Amino acid sequence: MITFAVTVEADGLSEAEIKVDGIQLRLRHVNASYIRVNMSDVLAWADDIVERRNGRVRIYIDEVEYIYGNIQNIYFTRSGSKNSMSLVATRFITYSSPVARDLTNLWTLHIDGNGRHKARCAFDGDVRPQDTVTLPDGQTFQVDYMATFLGYDNGWIDVEGT
């Protein structure tokens, strides 16, 4: 099981942990990476979030900081009697220490006509853009894009590259 925590912070205010239903990440080398956290218990966290709206959102996985980003937008959605809120943050990251990793728990693999690999597997918090991954059949490629979803009972990553 994946254990994660999400906090919001801003200059002059302490870090506040918020309970979220899910996390979506799009990670790229050098280009903007995108973070979105979704929560259904809007009223429990609204004050903490609004106070820190010019701050940062941080994602911790197994109590270690995984990524943070500067809050760009806060979305409130009302659908019938149900409310939800999303925080969207971005960050430009340079992954400067790529490593070779085995990509395990592979669910799907697609290779297009240009040799671009697209693989989906169970969440692996160690895989990052710029890493060279080895598939179970021995093929390798360098990751240049990752999409991640984390929920309390599951998680996956899509990795792409050539």
Condensed to tens digits (0 to 9), the pLDDT of residues 133-153 reads: 999 999 999 999 999 999 988
Condensed to tens digits (0 to 9), the pLDDT of residues 64-117 reads: 999 999 999 999 988 877 889 999 999 998 888 899 999 989 999 999 999 999
11 burial level (CB within 10 Å; 0-12, 13-18, 19+): exposed
Pairing of strands 140-151, 132-134: antiparallel
Q: Which residues lie below 8 Å from residue 54, measured CB to CB, with a gap of 6+? A: 10, 71
pLDDT of residue 42: 84
For domain 4-92, the CATH architecture is Roll (2.30)
Split at pLDDT 50, 70, 90, the class of 30 is confident
Are the CB atoms for 92 and 70 separated by under 8 Å?
Answer: no
pTM score, whole prediction: 0.89
Question: How confident is the model over 35-57, as a mean pLDDT?
Answer: 92
Torsion of CA 56, 57, 63, 66, to 10 degrees: -90
Domain ranges of the chain: 4-92, 100-161
- Name the CATH topology of 100-161: Elongation Factor Tu (Ef-tu); domain 3 (2.40.30)
Nearest alpha carbon to residue 7 among 28, 26, 23, 29: 23
